[in-house]
Structure 1
């Protein structure tokens, strides 16, 4: 539930300003409030409530694709099922807000229109559109922390299919699921086979006439049990929740780290393992190689979780099916496939992904000159070359987002503490002399990770170097010791 706001902040200055009230922004605000209760902090959220992804996604069956022992915060034990529903995650975030007194800090319906740094005033000036008031206000801050996630909540990705306007059924994207959409007894086609489709299809299969997952190419799925083998024995011991949480958190980290390591060192062994999980739960004679054996290396794109094999169970029941084919065009009654087959549909769900966004889509400037992010290097995936008093949060692709959030929050707070202790007003990453000729590489190496939303956005993302601290997109097992060891007085951080 959103909390009504009545602040009249026009012209106000905040010591620290957080953009976004999803899991990143709430976590960042908690760290700031714990460290500096005396400093002025505000959180600006463009939507009408907290949760970010979990506010946007209201489609049937919406749930986590990561275990909550690692997706939850290190500072707040998770006590529910490892795989949680969107409602359960929102309740967890609501409890975090209440327990840490964060509600008065959050301004909902506040969308940042622009952010400009003044070198003389040593502060950021933000123009903000307020939804409820229908006006634009100005705020300033000494330090800006971008926690708006990595995709556009308002504009998802939908390909331009020929003839879509001729389709007489209902077309919906999961990011914009209508509350009044009733799929009962209808024929549903879900286009796409990523984590959203894997979540949506088992939930729809319970009440539709039939649901078809239409994919252009296969995706890897992991059909592990919903609960970790240690979960039941630990709960039987009636341990303090913090103990159980920490043990299960470490167990999930260890298991995921081993899978990630296999994806690099023994990818074909991991492929065989994932395909065997599918074969064991699909009907005899099902063409697993055609529908569930991707061309790419395992974990070169995200491995979608289907807890207890719920997607495979829907296929076994006959209420769901998989079609691997291209789309030639839409017509009034459904989709004509590249193979010539016709796929009838009453409802088409375009689970085709999202659009990656640079720092919440906010235009940035320095002394009135627009910032071109493609000319900036990332500093450890946390700050940007030459941008003063600015941090951002970007999580992992192969591990829970929040594992990196915890590490980033600790490091940003150490930098802020160093500024306070040394009397500095400004910090910005700078290149060393030995970095002058360093190549500026793409934001993501496609050989590392090549999901469609990554490849579509490379041309507008910032860059990385070929050495620390100018690299990012590392793995948790690399950063869990590396980031805590970073000193705030590192030579690549310039203070004044």
Structure 2
């Protein structure tokens, strides 16, 4: 490898060892791992937007919060010190910015750098990356040995909104949470929030504090589970133990609790469903129609569960400031929504909390030696690398636990690969799949946003290392300590003559 540029040259150079795409949680994890585990490697983080934080800077809707506890959603290397385990969006964004600044990761970020395409060239053993900088339509070229895509899998340009009949007739605004208007005044207004997922159950209680009334209109119910906003065990640990020890114990407690809850729910789904529904009934009272509004037709974890801190959604319903209607939209009217049951919902504002669109690899186009890479035709190796694509990793977090847990493991595994190649003189590593690995969808959720994107996502195999286990403890063992010589990962280098010529 060529000598590393001097630090004073790093701001201008476009030829680096590693390029990281995206400056959200995954990108910060990647930056920290590279600095601590591969200190001789040069890297930069390319961020399409003007600010750090990814999803937490993009979304600005009222009540934005995490749906994972911050002891596992936060970084292992910088303990979360907030009072609440389920934290609000602004607090999380501050935490991300402070973390990036504390470790100098923010100095590696190049904002308004949108990666358009990446071409692997075996004759160079490098990626050639086309990047749009600012508003300049002419892309500039970066090169790197390894490409780490940390752009998540959401489409940041727009969310999903069904094509309802009659929306043009509605007199008020129809807002999607992903594009929340800063000047939207909903005080004293009648609001209908369409949806039943995490965004909807977040918006309803928050908007109900100022709106005249908020109705959550859902086509079908979700599992909604109340949990304390402040973790009482973590609070006790922080009171009596040193901060880092308390954080570590709280983190591992939540890892085991979340994993155990998920495993038990998958093995005893009917029992778990009854318990969750019983807890909702206890929150809402014996006269509330829990069977209609909070009893899903699917099993727990066929879709993500919705967490409500301190039961705020249930409190809003009990107070009369919010209500739930389970029905289908027939059409919009000038004054609201006409439902299939014949009922009309009056509304001044409609919020379409109807989900997100997925976009793999942040929308960038890949080629390997001139051959286009179609993500749906590939298989995901160890939950992070695409089959037959050299020196590329994709950060994809867990669907049943904290996103950050998996992204930190991915970042560390990438560093293992880089250090292994550096030590042995290899220039690339590429996963090769055999013919008998089986085939399955990458994510087995029945959620609408997953079903709509099945043709966009890679596949997984039926056995390791091609199986996506959604199990942090298993991944921790295999990604941190498992052998890299697993029969699927191929290492290589150019012939000496080609290397001398280059």
Check if 1:197 corresponds to 2:200.
yes
Preserved CA contact (<8 Å) 1:411 1:486: no
Q: Are 2:157 and 1:139 equivalent residues in the alignment?
A: no
State which of 444, 449, 465 in structure 2 corresponds to 1:469.
465
Q: Distance between the aligned counterparts of 1:75 and 1:179, measured in 2?
A: 34
1:139 deviation in Å? Answer: 0.8
Greater displacement, 49-58 / 455-464 = 455-464
CA deviation digits over 1:267-326, x for unaligned, max 9?
112111111221111144110111011011011100011011000000011010000001
Partner secondary structure for residue 310 of structure 2: helix
| Corresponding residue SS for 2:287 | coil
Which of 238, 242, 245 lines up with 2:244 in the alignment? 242
Residue by residue, what CA displacement relative to the aligned partner does 1:223-267 show, whole Å, maximum 9, x if unpaired?
A: 122223313322331x22111111111121122122101211111
TM-score (ref. length: structure 1): 0.94
Of 385, 388, 411, the residue aligned with 1:383 is 385
Question: Secondary structure, in 3 states, of the residue corresponding to 2:143?
Answer: strand
Taking the aligned partners of 1:389 and 1:228, their CA distance within structure 2 comes to 40
Q: Distance in 2 between matches of 1:66 and 1:178?
A: 26
Residue number among 31, 40, 43 corresponding to 2:42 in the alignment? 40
Determine the structure 1 residue equivalent to 2:31.
Answer: 29
In 2, Cα distance between equivalents of 1:233 and 1:474: 30
**Are the aligned partners of 1:66 and 1:400 in contact in 2 as well (CA < 8 Å)?**
yes
Which sits farther off after the overlay, 452-461 or 15-24?
A: 452-461
Does residue 425 of the first structure (1) align with residue 434 of the second (2)?
no
Rounded to whole Å, the distance in 2 between the matches of 1:257 and 1:65 is 15
Deviations 1:68-125 (A, max 9, x none): 0000111111111101111111111111111111122101111111111111111111
Q: Which residue of 2 aligns with 1:459?
A: 455
Aligned to 1:4: none
2:113 aligned to 110, 114, 117, which one?
A: 110
Aligned pair 1:481/2:480, yes or no? no
Task: Give the CA deviation at 1:480.
Answer: 2.9
Helix, strand or coil: the match of 1:245? helix
2:499 match: none
Query: Shift in Å at residue 483 of structure 1?
Result: 2.4
Q: In structure 2, do the counterparts of structure 1 residues 9 and 139 end up closer, same or farther at CA, with 3 Å as the change threshold?
A: farther
Query: What's the CA shift string for 1:179-206, capped at 9, x where partnerless?
Result: 1111100011110011111111111010
Give the Cα separation in 1 of the matches to 2:303 and 2:26. 23
Tell me what 1:228 maps to.
231
TM-score normalized by structure 2?
A: 0.93
Shift of 1:56: 0.9
Q: Which residue in the other structure is 1:364 paired with?
A: 366
1:251 aligns with 2:250: no
Residue 490 in structure 1 maps to residue 489 in structure 2: no
Partner of 1:3: none
Tell me, which stretches of 5 or more residues in structure 2 are unaligned?
A: 1-8, 493-502
- CA drift of 1:450 comes to 1.5
- Looking at structure 2, the residues matched to 284 and 443 of structure 1 have their Cα atoms a distance apart, in angstroms, of 40
- Equivalents in 2 of 1:311, 1:134: separation in Å? 46
Q: Which consecutive unaligned segments of at least 5 residues does structure 1 have?
A: 1-6
What SS does the aligned partner of 1:256 have? Answer: helix
Counterpart check, 1:158 vs 2:154 = no
Structure 1 Cα separation of the partners of residues 375 and 47 of structure 2: 23
> Cα RMSD over matched residues?
1.6
Structure 1 runs of 4+ with >6 Å offset: 7-11
Partners of 1:396 and 1:473 within 8 A in 2: no
Q: How far has the Cα of 1:473 moved from its partner? A: 4.5
* Contact 2:438-2:463 at 8 Å conserved across structures: no
- Structure 2 match to 1:149: 152
* Alignment pair present for 1:326 and 2:325: no
2:406 paired with 1:401: no
1:173 pairs, out of 173, 176, 184, with 176
Closer, same or farther: CA 393–365 of 1 in aligned 2, 3 Å: same
CA apart distance, 1:444: 2.9
Count of matched residue positions in the alignment of Structure 1 and Structure 2: 483
Quote how far apart the aligned CAs of 1:409 are: 1.7
SS at match of 2:331: strand
Alpha-carbon distance in 2 for matches of 1:463, 1:267:
26
